[in-house]
Structure 1
Amino acid sequence: MSKNYISLTAANDTEKNNTFVEEKGICRLSDENQEILDDVYVKETTCGFWIFKGSFLQRFANKKAFVFLYGIVGCLFSASYSYNSGTITTLEKRFKIPSRTTGIISVGNDISQLFVSVILSYYAGTKHRPRWMALGLYTVVLFCLMTALLHWLYGAGEDALLLTTEFGARYDENITKEVFEKEQRKSLCHARNRTSAECESLEGSYAPQIILFSAQFISGMGAPLYYTLGISYMDDNIKKSKTPALISISYFLKTLGPAIGYALASVCLKIYISPTLTPTVDNKDPRWLGAWWLGWIILGGIIFIFASLLALFPKQLPRAAARRFQRQISQASTLKQETEIPRSFKDMIKTFKRLTGNATLMLNNFAAIFYFLGYMPYWIFLPKYIETQYRQSASASSLITGTAGLIFSAIGVLLSGLIVSKLRPRARSLAAWNVIVGAISVFGIISYAYLGCLDNTQYASLINNGQYKQISQCNAKCSCDYVKYNPVCSEDGVTTFISACHAGCTEVSFVNDTKIYSQCACIESKNLDDTPTPGYGVTGNCPVDCYYKFYLFVAVVCLLKFTGATGRVSNFLVTVRCVEEKDKAVAMGFGLMMMSLCAFVPSPILFGIIIDKACLVWGKTCSGNGNCWVYDSETLKHTLNFTAAAFVTVGTLFDIGVWYFVKGLKIFDEEIEFELNEL
């Protein structure tokens, strides 16, 4: 690269650029300032560090390479959280964690974000942002590895091992009779009291939950740097006229993340939790535990590689640095005028006061807070919701959650970015569209409450005069308190019992590898002379025909994915344009802190409690309740969806306030741009 700053890209461009300078009346710097400016330019636009730099890397120092890599990293970043959502039900089963505790664990990263995001964004906003982004992503790598560590510390668990041929879920020549009879005693009806010695302990106590929370907490300390610094770096290094299109491309790549995360969860959950063992149940059985830990190792390794590549980008992209320095020259500026203002606590407080006094920014933040409050349960608990409402397997729920709206989200992001770049609408038009998106979201979420399967009535053993209870006359002497959840379907395919014990079954046999329970006191069968006798049951839930409403649910999800995606670019542009240039990074960090405090932390806990309140059957342990096995689907879908819709409604009202105050905001500035060749 030429040392003469005016040429910038090559020595033979000097004449063309000098002509441009003369025509525009741009002032020239003194030789001394020019030399200093050249040194600063080379230092800030050089790719790599230490021995990892050179002309090969320098060719990638352009906006297209950064947008692509930033989008890929965002894809992997969001995949890690969707993978966590896709495997959350399996984690609850494996470590017997109730949903309210899961909600508390999931806010670990939001709690750390609350305390450090705005401070890190303030101090790192003027530093080498790509390296700080990479450092933040390394905390996500640590989060992945710490979560996977649980499997190596605690193994597959007794529940999973007993469902394998190697450890005794069924009786054959390789399994001792004692092991088989032990399993019978746990699942069948016996006219005797089970002692407390037969209750199930919570394996590992609270240690697994503490490790999961710590992993989330660590990721929250660095992960915000990717978002706040990445967006400001991109906006500073791209012409404002091209920002919407390139931002939409990065968002498009990020939308692939949830699909990849859920697809990876689907694949991993189809593999048994201990791949070296042979399970005796398939992945449609509610007792199946998939290899939830496998995806964390894969994601952690890939994120580490791409985060390291991100760190190689320069402090500024060459073309953007050229435009910025030339703007100084055109204003007869010197290098001293461009030096960074020292960061201090006093200046940070002034910055916060300036941001809180910005009505447009604060209303936009409050709108985002209530949107996140309403959408959070679907991001975290949607696989569980699909499992409970539509009777899908954990693997199928993860796959559907990740892929159903992918195409529509991608189309929405790309289409909105291209339209905004082409038409360059006013700020009020962008804000008005956000109001429309909010209204569509409210009606869509309300419709969820009317799309579901009425399958609670099949649990006849739970329902008695409108009250839910597990014990009835036919199984009153079976002592089923500590029996594990193992659903059994009656021979007529209508009634589901939560276990063979609750069905009053006293015998078990295998027919073509299918477990058949017989002599079931709660299942009535009739002989040829119509004399009632104890019937039989088959392991598993009775089938429920719910495909029509399920397909309608998926259609509404796709619609909301599309409309929500079209509002991302407009929301971003309003956020970064309503503040001063120097406040962009800290404004996003400040907004993230507000959302962590008011939405990311309380929402999972609140909706975790709502989900637990709808529980009908808790797994009973020595110390109390474990995870929930059966939910009241009617209570769950009404309470959860109407609460979420109320939050989104409030967010839409705040968006109306943004529309009012955003009048006169300039989204696309006219600026002097150099016509330089692509680097």
Structure 2
Amino acid sequence: MKSSVTQIERRFDIPSSLIGVIDGSFEIAFVSYFGAKLHRPRIIAMGCIIMALGSFLTATPHFFQGLYKYETSMSHRLDNTTETILPCLTNHSTVAEDDTPSEASRAACEKEAGSSMWVYVFLGNMLRGIGETPITPLGVSYLDDFSREENTAFYIACVQTVGILGPMLGFMLGSFCAKVYVDIGFVDLDSVTINDKDSRWVGVWWLGFLKSAAEEKPAEKDVNFSEMAKDFLPSLRRLFSNRVFPLLILTSLVAVNGFVGMITFKPKYMEQIFGQSASKAIFLIGSMNIPAVALGIITGGLVLKRFRLGVVGAARVALCTSVCSFLILLVQFFLHCDNAEVAGLTVSYQGLPEVSYQPGSMVSGCNMGCTCTLKHWDPVCSSSGLSYASPCLAGCQTSTGAGKEMVFHNCTCVGETVVRPSGNMSVALGQCPRPGSCDFTFKIYMAMSVMGTFVSACGGTPGYIVLLRSIQPDLKSLALGMQTLIVRTLGETCLKWGTKRCGGRGACRLYESNAFRMTFLGLVYALYLLSNLLWGVLYYHIVQRAKKASLRKQSKKGNGVEAAERRASVLMQNGDKDDLDRESTI
């Protein structure tokens, strides 16, 4: 799902805020409580079936929505001919807003295009989240019940490490799907004028969900639900009367929401800040960040097992890794590339660094007579490294070639560039790549990202141990389920918006990179900073609780010794040597 959100956003022309809602999984905590009273492996198997149904439902809109039609400044879809197109003289609308369709025609168009079918993606993901609910809480509690206490941390780390293979393969498959055109097999790919680096490109986002849909047949068992229901509210009351548990819930809520927000939009961040393609960004996350998570989880488990750390030691490890990963994340704020240079959006038509958010700035003297539409995003690149929003806005007069190989010539706006003048007045399809120095900066960013991921993952298993050792044994499944429920359910800076097929604003095509970076990382930093502060408070409470428990244990032991001494004194006074010998042995 994380590797497909960008493709889903573009395919359905929906904003990032709505993508965030779709990506949220919905959890049902009651499954975790009742499941602990039932056959837990069977409940987990039923959850897997529900997840498969949710994955299948998520993919279904592709088969009912029709072919994907990306926006283009050309008035018709190109074929394999070498027909000459005159971008500057094509009969486009002269201003950005004069071709807005009526409400009636837009409604009819949206019904035909099926643009509201993202609802099925939302419902499918919700169903998938419901099926996912019992897997972690019931699995971890089941494992903890049937393993020695000193081995629990290592076993949990092993299970979580193997579980990382799923997301890793998912990101790899997502990377492959992002490179394959969404309607492969239904359209002539030679007629497609965009590639996988274009912000309009949509890959076969639906394929991964179909691949993950599998079936299992669960066993059934007669149970008395009425008796379990009576005990649910008292168990819930006991759970939240534990002072450590609500604090741990709040800490997890803040930390996981920060992580989910970061991993969901990390591919888009790598696209907009470093100019990477969606498929490459997804591949790097799957091949580098996810294995670092697996290595970190197993490392955390081995540390707990090797040094035989109890709940206080586990809390100390979790706190240290959380602080260290936050400091590494802070360094990433200073690793970025400059804005993509697009005439009229981030720089002037002369190439001067003038940022403007007004649509009128896209019109200049060089394209004044071209009657270009300002709505469409159909970028072209000049040899000087300056991009233009469309061939028409570049002032191009003629074209040669077809499909992705099309080149536009006699572009009057290219000659106006004064910063890096170009003798070549032609432009090619696609946005210009970032400068060479950006690649080196991106490599440093990835190294810091992987390091931060590893350090953060080292605290995953200790965090589980803190939870498991801080609550009553019969409440473990409910506690893990409540944690998952609360964490999952509680948790723009666009320069150029795309245009929907039926009119209206679609997905964002180009962000102002500095504002996007500050907004994105600022929110993540705020959540992680709060999480670290809460971990500090939680660690203090755990240490205080451990001290009180130690004092009670010593007091009880001391009381036992005093009682034995008093009894021995009485026996000695009474002269009962045999009883005294037995007492001494005890």
- Classify the TM-score, shorter chain: 0.7 to 0.9
Distance 1:624 1:407 in 2: 41
Cross-structure match for 1:468: 357
Alignment of 1:252-263 (within 5 A): 252-263=161-172
Superposed displacement of residue 253, structure 1: 0.8
1:270 and 2:183 are equivalent in the alignment: no
Are the equivalent residues in 2 in contact too, given 1:519–1:535 (CA < 8 A)? yes
User: Which of 95, 100, 105 pairs up with 2:22?
Assistant: 105
Cross-structure match for 1:17: none
Say if 1:150 and 1:190 are closer, same or farther in 2 by CA, change over 3 A: closer
1:535 and 2:452 are equivalent in the alignment: no
Superposed displacement of residue 469, structure 1: 3.2
Cross-structure match for 1:224: 133
1:211 and 2:120 are equivalent in the alignment: yes
User: Which of 378, 387, 396 pairs up with 1:496?
Assistant: 387
Superposed displacement of residue 190, structure 1: 4.8
Cross-structure match for 1:557: 449
User: Which of 37, 40, 56 pairs up with 1:129?
Assistant: 40
Counterpart residue type for residue 508 of structure 1: S
Distance 1:512 1:265 in 2: 25
Distance 2:144 2:211 in 1: 31
User: Which of 137, 142, 148 pairs up with 2:53?
Assistant: 142
1:371 and 2:250 are equivalent in the alignment: no
Say if 1:631 and 1:188 are closer, same or farther in 2 by CA, change over 3 A: farther
Distance 2:158 2:424 in 1: 64
1:616 and 2:507 are equivalent in the alignment: no
User: Which of 514, 529, 535 pairs up with 1:649?
Assistant: 529
Are the equivalent residues in 2 in contact too, given 1:432–1:656 (CA < 8 A)? no
Distance 1:635 1:157 in 2: 30
Cross-structure match for 1:408: 292
Counterpart residue type for residue 279 of structure 1: L
Counterpart residue type for residue 204 of structure 2: A
Superposed displacement of residue 250, structure 1: 0.6
Superposed displacement of residue 584, structure 1: 0.7
Counterpart residue type for residue 124 of structure 1: G
Task: Determine helix, strand or coil for the equivalent of 1:521.
Answer: coil
Cross-structure match for 2:151: 242
**Structure 1 range deviating more: 125-134 or 213-222:** 213-222
Are the equivalent residues in 2 in contact too, given 1:191–1:477 (CA < 8 A)? no
Task: Determine helix, strand or coil for the equivalent of 2:499.
Answer: strand
User: Which of 147, 154, 159 pairs up with 2:65?
Assistant: 154
Superposed displacement of residue 456, structure 1: 3.5
Counterpart residue type for residue 535 of structure 1: M
Alignment of 1:590-669 (within 5 A): 590-599=482-491, 613-621=492-500, 622-663=502-543
Say if 1:463 and 1:353 are closer, same or farther in 2 by CA, change over 3 A: same
Task: Determine helix, strand or coil for the equivalent of 1:85.
Answer: coil
Say if 1:210 and 1:477 are closer, same or farther in 2 by CA, change over 3 A: farther
Superposed displacement of residue 422, structure 1: 2.6
Distance 1:644 1:460 in 2: 31
Say if 1:224 and 1:516 are closer, same or farther in 2 by CA, change over 3 A: same
Counterpart residue type for residue 88 of structure 1: V
1:348 and 2:235 are equivalent in the alignment: no
Are the equivalent residues in 1 in contact too, given 2:379–2:429 (CA < 8 A)? yes
User: Which of 399, 403, 411 pairs up with 1:508?
Assistant: 399
Superposed displacement of residue 187, structure 1: 11
Superposed displacement of residue 224, structure 1: 0.6
Distance 1:188 1:518 in 2: 15
Are the equivalent residues in 1 in contact too, given 2:383–2:422 (CA < 8 A)? no
Counterpart residue type for residue 143 of structure 1: G
Counterpart residue type for residue 518 of structure 1: H
Are the equivalent residues in 1 in contact too, given 2:72–2:378 (CA < 8 A)? no
Say if 1:625 and 1:282 are closer, same or farther in 2 by CA, change over 3 A: closer
**Structure 1 range deviating more: 457-466 or 377-386:** 457-466
Compute the TM-score of the two structures, normalised by the length of structure 2. 0.81
Distance 1:220 1:247 in 2: 22
**Structure 1 range deviating more: 629-638 or 121-130:** 121-130
Distance 1:472 1:154 in 2: 35
Superposed displacement of residue 620, structure 1: 2.5
Distance 1:234 1:587 in 2: 15
Superposed displacement of residue 653, structure 1: 1.3
Cross-structure match for 1:279: 189
> Which deviations, in whole Å up to 9, do the C-alpha atoms of 1:370-419 show, x marking residues without a partner?
11222122221111111111111111111011112233222222222122
Distance 1:533 1:379 in 2: 43
Distance 1:382 1:552 in 2: 16
Superposed displacement of residue 420, structure 1: 1.3
Task: Determine helix, strand or coil for the equivalent of 2:336.
Answer: coil
Are the equivalent residues in 2 in contact too, given 1:387–1:394 (CA < 8 A)? yes
Unaligned runs of 5+ in 1: 1-83, 316-338, 600-612, 668-679
Task: Determine helix, strand or coil for the equivalent of 1:489.
Answer: strand
Task: Determine helix, strand or coil for the equivalent of 1:425.
Answer: coil
Cross-structure match for 2:308: 424
Distance 1:533 1:421 in 2: 67
Cross-structure match for 1:75: none
1:92 and 2:23 are equivalent in the alignment: no
Matched positions, count: 521
Distance 1:130 1:420 in 2: 27
User: Which of 266, 286, 291 pairs up with 1:382?
Assistant: 266
Task: Determine helix, strand or coil for the equivalent of 2:408.
Answer: strand
Distance 1:353 1:187 in 2: 73
Superposed displacement of residue 248, structure 1: 1.0
Superposed displacement of residue 624, structure 1: 2.2
Distance 1:161 1:647 in 2: 40
Are the equivalent residues in 2 in contact too, given 1:460–1:495 (CA < 8 A)? no
RMSD: 3.3
Superposed displacement of residue 636, structure 1: 0.8
Cross-structure match for 1:332: none
Distance 1:298 1:533 in 2: 51
Over the matched positions of the two proteins, sequence identity in percent amounts to 23
Cross-structure match for 2:578: none
Compute the TM-score of the two structures, normalised by the length of structure 1. 0.70
Task: Determine helix, strand or coil for the equivalent of 1:662.
Answer: helix
1:292 and 2:190 are equivalent in the alignment: no
Superposed displacement of residue 587, structure 1: 0.8
Counterpart residue type for residue 167 of structure 2: P
Distance 2:66 2:73 in 1: 13
Superposed displacement of residue 96, structure 1: 1.0
Alignment of 1:21-32 (within 5 A): none
**Structure 1 range deviating more: 433-442 or 457-466:** 457-466
Superposed displacement of residue 101, structure 1: 1.4
Cross-structure match for 2:476: 584
Superposed displacement of residue 591, structure 1: 1.3
Distance 1:246 1:94 in 2: 42
Superposed displacement of residue 364, structure 1: 1.3
Are the equivalent residues in 2 in contact too, given 1:486–1:499 (CA < 8 A)? yes
Distance 2:93 2:224 in 1: 81
Unaligned runs of 5+ in 2: 349-353, 551-586
Counterpart residue type for residue 494 of structure 2: C
Distance 1:288 1:349 in 2: 51
Say if 1:188 and 1:662 are closer, same or farther in 2 by CA, change over 3 A: farther
Superposed displacement of residue 648, structure 1: 0.8
Counterpart residue type for residue 389 of structure 1: I
Say if 1:132 and 1:462 are closer, same or farther in 2 by CA, change over 3 A: same
Alignment of 1:512-531 (within 5 A): 514-524=405-415
Distance 1:188 1:219 in 2: 48
Task: Determine helix, strand or coil for the equivalent of 2:412.
Answer: strand
> Which deviations, in whole Å up to 9, do the C-alpha atoms of 1:213-271 show, x marking residues without a partner?
11122222221111121111111122222211111111111122222111001112222
Superposed displacement of residue 149, structure 1: 0.8
